[in-house]
Amino acid sequence: RAHRTTIVREAMSSQPEAPDYDADEIRAATAIVMPSLPKDWKVRDVQIYPSQFGPSVEMAVETRDLGLVSLFAIRPGTFDVVQPTVAPSGEISSAYFQIGEVAYAVVARRGVRDLDRTAETLANTLY
């Protein structure tokens, strides 16, 4: 839902993008550690959304290989380690993973290749 909301916001002139990304500030405010982004990724928007177990983070990122993707991070209320897993769903594809108390999802348009590798690359920056 957050990915779709980001796409809706992108089309609205009354909803300006917030491209200033500060991973340390996000961690301090939400207790969510964000993965390091590849150098060629350009952050277009960062938003904090409410969720059942506290704040979540949604980023819209422009990438060279994948196009526009969303990176979503949330505390799901459970502690687990889940390796990157791809989950296609209708018009979008996502790859999700969890490290400890934070779960992550990388969401892109359907048919994007190497989403699992992208998720694995992001996950590896958290160790």
The per-residue pLDDT for range 14-70, each reduced to its tens digit, is 666 677 789 999 999 999 999 999 999 999 989 898 999 999 999 999 999 889 999
Question: What domains lie within the chain, and their CATH numbers?
Answer: 2-124 (3.30.200)
Give the CA diameter of the chain: 40
* Greater model confidence, 1 or 112: 112
- What is residue 92's predicted lDDT score, i.e. its pLDDT? 86
What are the tokens at 88? 């296609």
* Amino acid (one-letter) located at 100: G
- In order of 20, 35, 106, the CA distances from 125 in angstroms are 20, 6, 14
Please give the sequence-ordered ranges of beta strands (E in DSSP) within the chain, or none if there are none. 42-51, 54-63, 67-74, 80-89, 92-100, 102-109
- Residues 62 and 43: their CA atoms lie apart, in Å, by 6
What does pTM read for this prediction?
Answer: 0.86
The candidate with the shortest Cα–Cα distance to 35, out of 57, 18, 2, is 57
- What is residue 111's predicted lDDT score, i.e. its pLDDT? 72
Distance linking the first and last C-alpha atoms of the chain: 28
How many residues make up the chain in this entry? Answer: 127
- What is residue 69's predicted lDDT score, i.e. its pLDDT? 92
